[in-house]
Every structure is written in C-alpha cells, then in structure tokens.
Amino acid sequence: MTTIAARSANAAAEAAAQDAAREEIAERSAGRKDPSKTPKPGKDGWHRFTVDVWITNFNKIEFGIYKRSRNRAKSRQFTADMDIFAEVIENGERTGLIGYREDLWKQKSGMDKRLVFKLFNETVNWRATMDLMVGRSLQSTIGARGLPVTSFSINTDDDNFLIYLERSANKWPFMPENFSFFLMNDNQPEFYRLRRDLIDLGGDYTLYDQNGNVVGTLDGKVFSLGGKWYGKVKQGHADKRLMTVMKLFTGMMIFNADSRRHMKALYRDVRRGKIKPKIERQEADLYMNPRRTR
C-alpha cells in the first residue's frame, strides 16, 4: 500500500508540474499580470491587505499526501517541511499564502535553528523568501551587549537587490521597538521604519518613510484566535517590494518574541563557551562576495 501511495503521489506531483508550466505559459501569452504585482488602491488612495493566521494545519492548501506532493512539484521552494500558516487577502480575494520551514525552527537548536518564511501566490507559486540571518543577528546582539537584535534578508522574485530588515538596538526598556529597511529605486535608496505603537493591543505598527511621514500601518485584531492583521500602505509607496516586506513582516510577528529569546540564548551560550559559532551553508551563501573568483 505504501508503494502504491508513493507512486500515486509522484504521479500527482508530475501532473502538478505540467499544470504549473501550462499556467505560466498561458499567463505570459495572455499578458496577464500577477495581482501581487499590481495592488489596487482604495478610493482614499491606500492599498489594503489582510493577513489571517490559521490556528491549525488542517487546511485545504496542505492537507493530504497528494496535495503536499503537488505543492512541492509546483514550486521547488515548497519544501517537505513547509507549513502554510497564513493567507493574504486583497480586494476580497486570496492573493497570497505565508509558510515557514517548521523543522528548521522546531527541530533544530543553537546556530542551526533558523526562521525561514516564504510567500506564495494563491496557486502556491513562490514569490519571496525571508530568512533570519543568525550570524548577522548574533553579531548585532553582541554589539548591543545582549539586547537581542534580529536581522532578516528578503529575496523577492524579480528584484536585483536583497532587502535587509533589522530590529533596532536603540531600544529602552518598555519602549516600542523599531525595525528598518530600505529599497533601491533607480540606484537610489529609500529608507523606511516600522515602529510598534506605544498603545499596542494586538501587535500594531506604523510605517514611516525617510522624512518621518506616516505611509502605512499594521492593525492587529485583539480577539482573533490565530492572529489577524489589517495592513494599509499609502499610494506612491505601495510597490510590489514594499507590500511583500509588509506581508512577510506581519507573518513574522507571531514568531517575534521567540526569535528574540533565541538570539538572547545564543548570545549567552557563545559568551559562556557552551556552543561554538557556525554558519549554516545556505545562510553562508548569502554572505558570499559576489566578486569572488569562481
């Protein structure tokens, strides 16, 4: 029975790969655009989205051996340990899915324990990846003398630049945390800051541009079971990359406290000599010199 099930799963995976290829060709020939690339603003000039976190894994995206095999075939980024835990809603329709590498986070320890988030579109095709950079985070935490600093790299599907999102080490006790990042536009950087609201009930953040203007918000719903955030970004700033950062950041928030505790524990263990620092290969690739001899 196991062999039959495996063969059936493989057949389903091959069928999914063919379906995905046909869909991609059809989209290109028809000139259709991915809705995630062209968010529609409301009448008030704000682009809105909702990230709804599920409380169980029993959802139609993942459930069943055949479904997971088809998902892996449709996108090599959908790994065997991928756990889809949230959906993105825009203009009343699902436009995205957020998942994370569950085994990397729950089964590993020390420097091998990492957070890797991935954004897929509604048909489970990859759109972006957000990695917790353990080495960079530990470096910044050591520099901040133990205050946990988390650094993330974000790789979108059609941008020439990685985006780096980092928690600020300039943090007073009981005061709101800040995250910052920048986008490259025509070789010019545009800087942004995400600040947690002082009066914060459900995980609320405000997005500021480099001139200190409010250009976006994340409003967490207090009485949701898994977690629910309503986001909006002002027209003129809501290009695909910034919207991707906002969506992945929202998905990261349910892991925010745990990731800080992880970096705090790593800092203590390294100082005490309990663990020897090492960088996992996939993360090490992100630090490689692009001008190195190959």
* Structure confidence by residue, pLDDT tens digits, 46-55: 999 999 998 6
**Where does the pLDDT of residue 24 fall: very low under 50, low under 70, confident under 90, or very high at 90 and above?**
very low
**Where does the pLDDT of residue 21 fall: very low under 50, low under 70, confident under 90, or very high at 90 and above?**
very low
Among the residue ranges 5-14, 185-194, 241-250, 260-269, the one predicted with the least confidence is 5-14
Q: What is the mean pLDDT of the chain?
A: 84
Averaged pLDDT for residues 87-104: 94
**Number of structural domains found in the chain:** 1
Would you say residue 75 has pLDDT above 70? Answer: no
Would you say residue 103 has pLDDT above 80? Answer: yes
Q: What is the domain range of residue 252?
A: 39-286
Distance of CA 164 to the CA centre of its chain: 12
The conformational region for residue 168 under phi > 0 = left, psi -120 to 50 = alpha, else beta, is beta
Confirm whether 5 is domain-assigned: no
Amino acid at residue number 49: F
Continuous H helices in 180-275: 240-252, 256-271
Confirm whether 24 is domain-assigned: no
The model's pLDDT over 185-212, given as tens digits with 9 standing for 90+, comes to: 988 999 999 999 988 777 899 999 999 9
State residue 69's pLDDT score.
55
Distance, in Å, from the CA atom of 142 to the CA atom of 124, rounded to the nearest integer, reads: 38
Confirm whether 19 is domain-assigned: no
State residue 55's pLDDT score.
65
State residue 61's pLDDT score.
58
**Count of H-run helices and E-run strands, the chain:** 7, 12
Confirm whether 182 is domain-assigned: yes
Confirm whether 175 is domain-assigned: yes
Residue in 65, 66, 68, 67 with CA at minimum distance from that of residue 82: 68
State residue 47's pLDDT score.
95
State residue 246's pLDDT score.
97
Confirm whether 32 is domain-assigned: no
Distance, in Å, from the CA atom of 98 to the CA atom of 120, rounded to the nearest integer, reads: 6
Confirm whether 291 is domain-assigned: no
Confirm whether 30 is domain-assigned: no
Would you say residue 43 has pLDDT above 90? Answer: no
First to last CA, the chain: 48
Residue in 81, 96, 59, 50 with CA at minimum distance from that of residue 217: 50
Distance, in Å, from the CA atom of 266 to the CA atom of 62, rounded to the nearest integer, reads: 33
